[in-house]
Protein backbone atom coordinates (compact mmCIF):
# COMPACT_ATOMS: atom_id res chain seq x y z
CA UNK A 1 0.00 0.00 0.00
CA UNK A 2 2.80 2.41 0.91
CA UNK A 3 4.63 1.51 -2.30
CA UNK A 4 1.47 2.14 -4.33
CA UNK A 5 0.90 5.51 -2.65
CA UNK A 6 4.52 6.54 -3.22
CA UNK A 7 4.26 5.75 -6.93
CA UNK A 8 1.06 7.79 -7.22
CA UNK A 9 2.58 10.78 -5.42
CA UNK A 10 5.72 10.54 -7.55
CA UNK A 11 3.59 10.42 -10.71
CA UNK A 12 1.67 13.53 -9.62
CA UNK A 13 4.88 15.41 -8.84
CA UNK A 14 6.33 14.63 -12.28
CA UNK A 15 3.15 15.72 -14.03
CA UNK A 16 2.93 18.83 -11.87
CA UNK A 17 6.39 19.82 -13.05
CA UNK A 18 5.33 19.21 -16.65
CA UNK A 19 2.17 21.32 -16.30
CA UNK A 20 3.71 23.93 -13.99
CA UNK A 21 3.17 26.79 -16.41
CA UNK A 22 -0.60 26.37 -16.69
CA UNK A 23 -1.20 24.56 -13.38
CA UNK A 24 -2.67 21.14 -12.67
CA UNK A 25 -6.39 20.97 -11.97
CA UNK A 26 -7.17 18.15 -9.52
CA UNK A 27 -10.52 17.03 -8.12
CA UNK A 28 -11.74 14.13 -6.05
CA UNK A 29 -15.03 12.42 -5.18
CA UNK A 30 -16.20 10.47 -2.16
CA UNK A 31 -18.04 7.41 -3.53
CA UNK A 32 -19.39 6.44 -0.11
CA UNK A 33 -20.89 9.91 0.33
CA UNK A 34 -22.50 9.75 -3.12
CA UNK A 35 -23.99 6.30 -2.52
CA UNK A 36 -25.45 7.41 0.82
CA UNK A 37 -27.26 10.24 -0.96
CA UNK A 38 -28.88 8.05 -3.63
CA UNK A 39 -32.33 7.12 -2.28
CA UNK A 40 -32.72 3.87 -4.21
CA UNK A 41 -29.36 2.65 -2.90
CA UNK A 42 -30.33 3.43 0.70
CA UNK A 43 -33.63 1.53 0.38
CA UNK A 44 -32.04 -1.53 -1.24
CA UNK A 45 -29.21 -1.49 1.32
CA UNK A 46 -31.75 -1.52 4.15
CA UNK A 47 -33.43 -4.58 2.63
CA UNK A 48 -30.08 -6.30 2.15
CA UNK A 49 -29.16 -5.61 5.78
CA UNK A 50 -32.51 -7.13 6.85
CA UNK A 51 -31.62 -10.26 4.87
CA UNK A 52 -28.18 -10.38 6.51
CA UNK A 53 -29.79 -10.10 9.98
CA UNK A 54 -32.09 -13.00 9.12
CA UNK A 55 -29.12 -15.13 8.04
CA UNK A 56 -27.28 -14.25 11.25
CA UNK A 57 -30.32 -15.32 13.30
CA UNK A 58 -30.41 -18.68 11.49
CA UNK A 59 -26.74 -19.24 12.27
CA UNK A 60 -27.24 -18.29 15.94
CA UNK A 61 -30.18 -20.73 16.23
CA UNK A 62 -28.11 -23.54 14.70
CA UNK A 63 -25.20 -22.81 17.05
CA UNK A 64 -27.55 -22.83 20.05
CA UNK A 65 -28.98 -26.20 18.98
CA UNK A 66 -25.47 -27.58 18.50
CA UNK A 67 -24.41 -26.37 21.95
CA UNK A 68 -27.46 -28.07 23.47
CA UNK A 69 -26.49 -31.35 21.77
CA UNK A 70 -23.00 -31.10 23.25
CA UNK A 71 -24.41 -30.51 26.74
CA UNK A 72 -26.85 -33.42 26.38
CA UNK A 73 -24.03 -35.74 25.32
CA UNK A 74 -21.91 -34.77 28.32
CA UNK A 75 -24.85 -35.45 30.63
CA UNK A 76 -25.66 -38.86 29.06
CA UNK A 77 -22.13 -40.19 28.58
CA UNK A 78 -22.29 -42.36 31.69
CA UNK A 79 -25.33 -44.18 30.24
CA UNK A 80 -23.92 -44.73 26.75
CA UNK A 81 -21.47 -47.23 25.29
CA UNK A 82 -18.27 -46.03 23.64
CA UNK A 83 -19.78 -46.84 20.25
CA UNK A 84 -22.85 -44.69 20.87
CA UNK A 85 -20.69 -41.84 22.20
CA UNK A 86 -18.60 -41.97 19.02
CA UNK A 87 -21.78 -41.83 16.92
CA UNK A 88 -23.09 -38.78 18.75
CA UNK A 89 -19.72 -37.00 18.50
CA UNK A 90 -19.58 -37.69 14.77
CA UNK A 91 -23.08 -36.23 14.36
CA UNK A 92 -22.00 -33.09 16.22
CA UNK A 93 -18.94 -32.71 13.96
CA UNK A 94 -21.17 -33.13 10.91
CA UNK A 95 -23.50 -30.34 12.09
CA UNK A 96 -20.54 -28.08 12.85
CA UNK A 97 -19.34 -28.54 9.26
CA UNK A 98 -22.82 -27.69 7.97
CA UNK A 99 -22.87 -24.44 9.95
CA UNK A 100 -19.42 -23.44 8.67
CA UNK A 101 -20.49 -24.12 5.07
CA UNK A 102 -23.65 -22.06 5.57
CA UNK A 103 -21.66 -19.14 6.99
CA UNK A 104 -19.36 -19.21 3.95
CA UNK A 105 -22.32 -19.41 1.53
CA UNK A 106 -23.91 -16.33 3.10
CA UNK A 107 -21.03 -14.18 4.43
CA UNK A 108 -17.89 -15.58 2.78
CA UNK A 109 -15.71 -13.67 0.27
CA UNK A 110 -17.87 -15.09 -2.54
CA UNK A 111 -21.06 -15.41 -0.52
CA UNK A 112 -24.55 -14.10 -1.18
CA UNK A 113 -24.03 -10.87 0.79
CA UNK A 114 -20.96 -9.78 -1.20
CA UNK A 115 -22.49 -10.82 -4.53
CA UNK A 116 -25.79 -9.00 -3.98
CA UNK A 117 -23.97 -5.90 -2.74
CA UNK A 118 -21.88 -5.83 -5.92
CA UNK A 119 -25.01 -6.16 -8.09
CA UNK A 120 -26.59 -3.32 -6.13
CA UNK A 121 -23.63 -0.91 -6.32
CA UNK A 122 -22.48 -1.60 -9.89
CA UNK A 123 -25.14 0.36 -11.85
CA UNK A 124 -24.72 3.42 -9.59
CA UNK A 125 -20.92 3.23 -9.85
CA UNK A 126 -21.22 3.09 -13.65
CA UNK A 127 -23.43 6.18 -13.60
CA UNK A 128 -20.97 8.04 -11.35
CA UNK A 129 -18.12 7.06 -13.69
CA UNK A 130 -20.00 8.45 -16.71
CA UNK A 131 -20.74 11.74 -14.93
CA UNK A 132 -17.11 12.06 -13.79
CA UNK A 133 -15.97 11.66 -17.40
CA UNK A 134 -18.30 14.50 -18.49
CA UNK A 135 -17.27 16.77 -15.61
CA UNK A 136 -13.58 16.06 -16.20
CA UNK A 137 -13.89 17.04 -19.86
CA UNK A 138 -16.18 20.06 -19.34
CA UNK A 139 -14.32 21.50 -16.34
CA UNK A 140 -10.89 20.63 -17.74
CA UNK A 141 -9.67 18.63 -14.75
CA UNK A 142 -6.33 16.92 -15.13
CA UNK A 143 -7.04 14.30 -12.43
CA UNK A 144 -10.08 13.17 -10.48
CA UNK A 145 -9.65 10.64 -7.65
CA UNK A 146 -12.00 8.60 -5.52
CA UNK A 147 -11.31 9.51 -1.90
CA UNK A 148 -12.79 6.25 -0.60
CA UNK A 149 -10.67 4.03 -2.92
CA UNK A 150 -7.20 2.52 -2.37
CA UNK A 151 -5.34 5.78 -3.08
CA UNK A 152 -5.20 7.43 0.33
CA UNK A 153 -5.21 11.23 0.40
CA UNK A 154 -2.88 12.63 3.02
CA UNK A 155 -4.28 16.12 2.54
CA UNK A 156 -7.04 17.67 0.48
CA UNK A 157 -8.83 20.99 0.46
CA UNK A 158 -12.61 21.00 0.41
CA UNK A 159 -12.66 23.19 -2.71
CA UNK A 160 -11.32 20.26 -4.73
CA UNK A 161 -14.16 17.94 -3.60
CA UNK A 162 -16.55 17.57 -6.55
CA UNK A 163 -18.79 14.90 -4.98
CA UNK A 164 -21.75 17.32 -4.76
CA UNK A 165 -21.16 18.34 -8.35
CA UNK A 166 -21.33 14.66 -9.37
CA UNK A 167 -24.59 14.26 -7.43
CA UNK A 168 -26.07 17.33 -9.16
CA UNK A 169 -25.02 16.04 -12.56
CA UNK A 170 -26.55 12.64 -11.78
CA UNK A 171 -29.85 14.36 -10.95
CA UNK A 172 -29.67 16.55 -14.06
CA UNK A 173 -28.89 13.59 -16.31
CA UNK A 174 -31.85 11.68 -14.88
CA UNK A 175 -34.19 14.57 -15.72
CA UNK A 176 -32.75 15.18 -19.19
CA UNK A 177 -32.74 11.54 -20.25
CA UNK A 178 -36.56 11.34 -19.72
CA UNK A 179 -36.23 8.45 -17.56
CA UNK A 180 -34.47 5.71 -19.39
CA UNK A 181 -31.70 5.36 -16.82
CA UNK A 182 -34.12 5.93 -13.96
CA UNK A 183 -36.45 3.21 -15.24
CA UNK A 184 -33.45 0.97 -15.78
CA UNK A 185 -32.27 1.44 -12.19
CA UNK A 186 -35.78 1.11 -10.74
CA UNK A 187 -36.38 -2.05 -12.75
CA UNK A 188 -33.12 -3.56 -11.53
CA UNK A 189 -34.00 -2.68 -7.94
CA UNK A 190 -37.49 -4.21 -8.30
CA UNK A 191 -36.01 -7.41 -9.67
CA UNK A 192 -33.41 -7.39 -6.91
CA UNK A 193 -36.22 -7.16 -4.30
CA UNK A 194 -38.16 -10.03 -5.90
CA UNK A 195 -35.05 -12.14 -6.30
CA UNK A 196 -35.78 -12.75 -10.02
CA UNK A 197 -33.47 -12.67 -13.00
CA UNK A 198 -32.91 -9.15 -14.29
CA UNK A 199 -34.66 -8.38 -17.59
CA UNK A 200 -34.11 -4.62 -17.91
CA UNK A 201 -32.00 -3.39 -20.81
CA UNK A 202 -28.53 -2.50 -19.54
CA UNK A 203 -25.16 -1.90 -21.11
CA UNK A 204 -23.31 -4.90 -22.58
CA UNK A 205 -20.56 -4.63 -19.97
CA UNK A 206 -23.05 -4.82 -17.08
CA UNK A 207 -24.93 -7.67 -18.81
CA UNK A 208 -21.76 -9.70 -19.08
CA UNK A 209 -20.78 -9.11 -15.44
CA UNK A 210 -24.28 -9.93 -14.22
CA UNK A 211 -24.52 -13.10 -16.32
CA UNK A 212 -21.16 -14.29 -14.99
CA UNK A 213 -22.15 -13.53 -11.39
CA UNK A 214 -25.54 -15.26 -11.75
CA UNK A 215 -23.95 -18.34 -13.34
CA UNK A 216 -21.39 -18.58 -10.53
CA UNK A 217 -24.12 -18.15 -7.92
CA UNK A 218 -26.38 -20.79 -9.52
CA UNK A 219 -23.52 -23.26 -9.81
CA UNK A 220 -22.56 -22.66 -6.18
CA UNK A 221 -26.15 -23.09 -5.00
CA UNK A 222 -26.54 -26.35 -6.94
CA UNK A 223 -23.32 -27.74 -5.51
CA UNK A 224 -24.28 -26.61 -2.00
CA UNK A 225 -27.76 -28.14 -2.35
CA UNK A 226 -26.31 -31.43 -3.61
CA UNK A 227 -23.81 -31.47 -0.76
CA UNK A 228 -26.52 -30.71 1.82
CA UNK A 229 -28.75 -33.45 0.39
CA UNK A 230 -25.92 -35.99 0.56
CA UNK A 231 -25.02 -34.93 4.07
CA UNK A 232 -28.65 -35.08 5.16
CA UNK A 233 -29.03 -38.56 3.68
CA UNK A 234 -25.85 -39.72 5.41
CA UNK A 235 -27.04 -38.18 8.65
CA UNK A 236 -30.41 -39.94 8.42
CA UNK A 237 -28.70 -43.27 7.70
CA UNK A 238 -26.42 -42.83 10.68
CA UNK A 239 -29.33 -41.80 12.85
CA UNK A 240 -31.32 -44.86 11.75
CA UNK A 241 -28.34 -47.16 12.41
CA UNK A 242 -27.86 -45.49 15.78
CA UNK A 243 -31.53 -46.07 16.70
CA UNK A 244 -31.34 -49.70 15.59
CA UNK A 245 -28.21 -50.33 17.64
CA UNK A 246 -29.76 -48.58 20.61
CA UNK A 247 -32.92 -50.66 20.26
CA UNK A 248 -30.88 -53.84 19.94
CA UNK A 249 -28.83 -52.91 23.00
CA UNK A 250 -31.98 -52.25 25.04
CA UNK A 251 -33.50 -55.55 23.87
CA UNK A 252 -30.33 -57.41 24.86
CA UNK A 253 -30.37 -55.76 28.27
CA UNK A 254 -34.06 -56.61 28.70
CA UNK A 255 -33.44 -60.22 27.62
CA UNK A 256 -30.62 -60.55 30.13
CA UNK A 257 -32.80 -59.08 32.84
CA UNK A 258 -35.62 -61.51 32.07
CA UNK A 259 -33.19 -64.45 31.94
CA UNK A 260 -31.82 -63.55 35.36
CA UNK A 261 -35.35 -63.18 36.70
CA UNK A 262 -36.40 -66.56 35.31
CA UNK A 263 -33.26 -68.18 36.70
CA UNK A 264 -33.98 -66.71 40.12
CA UNK A 265 -37.61 -67.92 39.96
CA UNK A 266 -36.47 -71.44 39.01
CA UNK A 267 -34.09 -71.52 41.92
CA UNK A 268 -36.80 -70.42 44.29
CA UNK A 269 -39.24 -72.99 42.90
CA UNK A 270 -36.58 -75.74 43.09
CA UNK A 271 -35.81 -74.95 46.72
CA UNK A 272 -39.47 -74.89 47.89
CA UNK A 273 -40.32 -78.64 47.34
CA UNK A 274 -37.08 -79.60 49.01
CA UNK A 275 -38.06 -77.74 52.16
CA UNK A 276 -41.56 -79.39 52.18
CA UNK A 277 -40.03 -82.89 51.97
CA UNK A 278 -37.76 -82.18 54.89
CA UNK A 279 -40.70 -81.02 56.95
CA UNK A 280 -42.68 -84.25 56.21
CA UNK A 281 -39.72 -86.37 57.19
CA UNK A 282 -39.43 -84.59 60.45
CA UNK A 283 -43.10 -85.28 61.25
Half-sphere exposure of 184 (CA within 13 A, CB side): 16
Long-range CB contact pairs, 80-87, < 8 A, 24+: 81/249, 83/245, 84/242, 84/245, 84/246, 84/249, 87/238, 87/241, 87/242, 87/245
- The average pLDDT across 84-113 equals 91
Q: Higher pLDDT residue, 242 or 126?
A: 126
The answer to whether the CB of 189 falls within 8 A of the CB of 44 is: yes
**70 falls in which pLDDT band (50, 70, 90)?**
very high
Query: Three-state DSSP class for 264?
Result: helix
Please give the pLDDT value at position 100: 93
**Of 145, 129, 142, nearest in space to 5 by CA:** 145
The model's pLDDT over 130-147, given as tens digits with 9 standing for 90+, comes to 888 888 888 888 888 888
**Phi then psi dihedrals of residue 196, to 5 deg:** -100, 165
The model's pLDDT over 209-260, given as tens digits with 9 standing for 90+, comes to 777 778 877 887 888 788 878 877 877 887 787 778 778 878 888 888 888 7
When the pLDDT of each residue in the chain is averaged and rounded to a whole number, the result is 77
CA distance 86 to 146: 57
Amino acid sequence: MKKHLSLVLLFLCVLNMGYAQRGVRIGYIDMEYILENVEEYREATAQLNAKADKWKKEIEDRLAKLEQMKEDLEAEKVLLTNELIAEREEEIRFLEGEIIDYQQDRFGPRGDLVLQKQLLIQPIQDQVFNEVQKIGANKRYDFIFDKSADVVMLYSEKRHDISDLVLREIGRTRKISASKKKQELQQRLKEYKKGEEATAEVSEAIKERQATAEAAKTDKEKKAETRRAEQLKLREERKKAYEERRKKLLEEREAKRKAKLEERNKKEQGEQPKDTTNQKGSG
